[in-house]
Amino acid sequence: MVEFILSRLRAFEHAFHGWWYVICTQRNAWIHAVVTVVVVAMALFLKLSVHEWAILLLTIALVWIAEFLNTALEAVVDLASPNHHALAKVGKDVGAAAVLIAALTSVLVGLLILGPPLWQSIRFSFLR
């Protein structure tokens, strides 16, 4: 049982090393981090419902997961094909496209969920 618990702790350690690697090496991860903080702050300010929070958190997770998988894909492609190769480029481009799709989708979801209450808050502020 002790070995099982230690192996789970090591698995978490490896996961956090991967997380730190993405944060330290991927410039777009910093953009995702800043946008995540801004969106969470806005959601707190607007006092969103539990369902709206769930959708926002799933959307945020989608972007981060796409970024992490893209980083992993790029590392594996670089390992397998250290020289430039047309198929390596395709793999990297498709991974980047997945991140782009996730990011664009998150912008739309953010506008749909945060837009109306934010607009209402802004209008209320100006009408006072």
Q: What's the CA gap between 122 and 98, in Å, rounded?
A: 34
Q: What is the largest CA-CA distance in the chain?
A: 64
Catalytic residue among 3, 13, 52, 67: 67
The dihedral region occupied by 123, where left means phi > 0, alpha psi between -120 and 50, and beta the remainder, is: alpha
Among this protein's residues, is 67 annotated catalytic? yes
DSSP 56: H
Q: Are 48 and 117 in contact (CB under 8 A)?
A: yes
Catalytic residue positions, numbered: 67
